[in-house]
Amino acid sequence: MTADVREPAPGERLPRGFHLLLIGQTVSLVGSAVTFLALPLTAIDLLGAGPFETGVLLACGRAPYLLCGPVAGVLVDRLPHRVLLMSANTVMAVALATVPIAALTGHVGLPHLYTAATVVGTATVLADVAYLACVPNVVPPTQLVRAQSRLELGQSIAVALGPLLAGWLIGTFSAPTAIFADSASFLLATALLPFVAMRPAEYLPAHGAAREHDDGRRAHGGILSEAAEGALFVLRTARLRAVTLATATLVFCYNAYSAVFLLYLTERLGFSAGASGAAMGIAAAGGIAGALAARSLARGLGLGRVLVASLVLSAIGAVLTPVAAVTGWAALLAVALSHFLLWAGQQIYNVHQVPIRYVLTPRVLHGRVNASIRTIVWGLAPLGALLGGACGAWFGTRATLLLSGAAIAFAAAWIVRSPLWAVRTPQLAGPGTPPAHSETAARTEDHRP
């Protein structure tokens, strides 16, 4: 049907370069998990931020996806991925380091936090799109699903370790000081990139006739026309459009949920920073379980059903925290179980939804397609965060968590109403046709309403 992403042979190993990427990505995600807890706590504890301010802070980190995503896709398709990743990581490291430095000198304020979050968010857009385009240049097509499973497992480990590390750093030092860990993590990820071996240039379709076509189009069109090509490909490809809209719904609802989640833990349940980190860290074991079980579940259920089941599982996990009317240790266990299910569902979903774009997208469009998907998905994230913060101020944090968590289940409707629901195999896979020929099949078969 499309690109060949068959299950690899049992003895086939992922390339060394991928493992270096995986280590760098996991370390930086551990640091980002620290900042996810430490940055809003800096606003809450030092500056007295309420639900709306924490919602704005989260939105500042997400808004660049909407504003900069299309341009990032064009840059990724034009420039070396390694250079872009190293530059973006360095910018994030410097921007994050300004927060603890300002706090130590007594000059931190909400405008500074908003600015730092926006700068980091902008660099994250470029890094995310470059990283997604880099993976199929390092990993052979037959190993993409296995590679994505490892990436999600690494993310789950980061989510498990990050809050625990954040709780210890915040408790031992302070919330702003803990952000230094994230800055250092980006520097380490940058140091590993020069040792990542990319696949040969001829592996990409952007050579020969394909390169001539792409260069001719670049000569006659600008950045906007190039960006539009990626967006139109996403919208015209039925299965890619469905999984993009499902992911956008999930991210929108989850950001509304996240905007008030920490406030609910600290104000309604009385959790300390250490307890919040412990609950989220224990719960992240669900992400590890989900990443490990994802491929086996898809073999049993098929791709369409496992995508739907994982989204419903995420919704069940999200509503458990506001539904459980308990306190003390019971509350800690309830929050841990809630996030266990939430993250298990999300990781199962992500293991399978990301390779779909690799399969359906010609490699010459990887940067722009990934950027278009990121723009659609994460462009809705700041709106979700702002809505969640506003609802938290108007209706209370518990009601906001309940409504936004339950709404995650509506993401499954996009899958059920699309051709993906009929896919009973574990993944979208071609019958062994070479990738260069199967891209034409993808364009012919999937560009329908």
List residues bridging with 447 in a β-sheet. 237
Q: Which of 32-46, 107-121, 323-337 has the lowest mean pLDDT?
A: 323-337
User: Is the domain defined by 20-192+206-446 classed in CATH 1.20.1250.20?
Assistant: yes
CA atoms within 13 A on the CB side of 438: 19
Mean pLDDT of 19-48: 89
Mean pLDDT of 381-398: 87
Question: Are 35 and 179 in contact, with CB atoms under 8 Å apart?
Answer: yes
pLDDT at 419 over 50: yes
Mean pLDDT of 390-399: 88
Q: Which range, 181-185, 201-205, 225-229, 354-358, is most confident? A: 181-185
Q: How far is Cα 16 from Cα 292, in angstroms, rounded to an integer?
A: 21
Question: Are 156 and 110 in contact, with CB atoms under 8 Å apart?
Answer: no
Kindly write down the DSSP assignment for every residue of 179-245, as one continuous string: HHHHHHHHHHHHHHGGGPPPPPGGGSS-SHHHHHHHHHHHHHS-HHHHHHHHHHHHHHBHHHHHHHH
Q: How far is Cα 262 from Cα 121, in angstroms, rounded to an integer?
A: 20
Q: How far is Cα 15 from Cα 85, in angstroms, rounded to an integer?
A: 19
pLDDT at 11 over 60: no
Name which of 134, 13, 144, 10 is nearest 426 in CA terms: 144
Residues 6+ apart with CB under 8 A from 261: 321, 401
| Pair of tokens at residue 90 | 């360095």
pLDDT at 436 over 50: no
Q: Which range, 49-53, 120-124, 270-274, is most confident? A: 120-124
Q: Which of 45-59, 216-230, 248-262, 381-395 has the lowest mean pLDDT?
A: 216-230
Burial tier of 169 (Cβ tally within 10 Å: 0-12, 13-18, 19+): buried
Q: Which one is predicted more confidently, 374 or 427? A: 374
Query: Residue 107: its pLDDT value, please?
Result: 86
Q: What's the pLDDT tens digit per position in 103-129? A: 988 888 999 999 999 999 999 988 988
Round the average pLDDT of the chain to a whole number and report it. Answer: 80
- pLDDT category, 370, cuts 50, 70, 90? confident
Q: Which one is predicted more confidently, 78 or 278? A: 78
- pLDDT category, 220, cuts 50, 70, 90? very low
Mean pLDDT of 159-175: 82
Q: How far is Cα 263 from Cα 97, in angstroms, rounded to an integer?
A: 25
Residues 6+ apart with CB under 8 A from 399: 322, 391
- pLDDT category, 214, cuts 50, 70, 90? very low
Residue environment code for 335-357, b if the CB has 16+ CB neighbours within 10 A, otherwise e: bbbbbbbbbbbbbbbbbbbbbbb
Cα–Cα distances (Å) from 378 to 77, 92, 124, 274, 430, in that order, read 20, 18, 11, 29, 30
pLDDT at 2 over 50: no
- pLDDT category, 442, cuts 50, 70, 90? very low
Question: Are 41 and 263 in contact, with CB atoms under 8 Å apart?
Answer: no
Query: Residue 443: its pLDDT value, please?
Result: 34
pLDDT at 274 over 80: no
Q: Which of 8-12, 17-21, 417-421 has the lowest mean pLDDT?
A: 8-12
Q: How far is Cα 235 from Cα 441, in angstroms, rounded to an integer?
A: 17
Q: Which of 83-87, 298-302, 342-346, 374-378 has the lowest mean pLDDT?
A: 374-378
Q: Which range, 84-88, 226-230, 337-341, 368-372, is most confident? A: 84-88
- pLDDT category, 326, cuts 50, 70, 90? low
pLDDT at 268 over 90: no
Q: Which residue has the tokens 């250079």?
A: 83
Q: How far is Cα 129 from Cα 149, in angstroms, rounded to an integer?
A: 18
Query: Residue 428: its pLDDT value, please?
Result: 66
Single pTM value for the model: 0.69
Query: Residue 219: its pLDDT value, please?
Result: 42
Name which of 321, 349, 291 is nearest 406 in CA terms: 321
- Please report which residue ranges of 264-365 form alpha helices under DSSP H: 273-283, 285-301, 303-323, 328-360
pLDDT at 213 over 60: no
Q: How far is Cα 264 from Cα 393, in angstroms, rounded to an integer?
A: 12
Domain residue limits, the chain: 20-192+206-446
Q: What's the pLDDT tens digit per position in 135-149? A: 888 888 777 778 888
pLDDT at 96 over 90: yes
Cα–Cα distances (Å) from 94 to 81, 143, 309, in that order, read 20, 35, 41
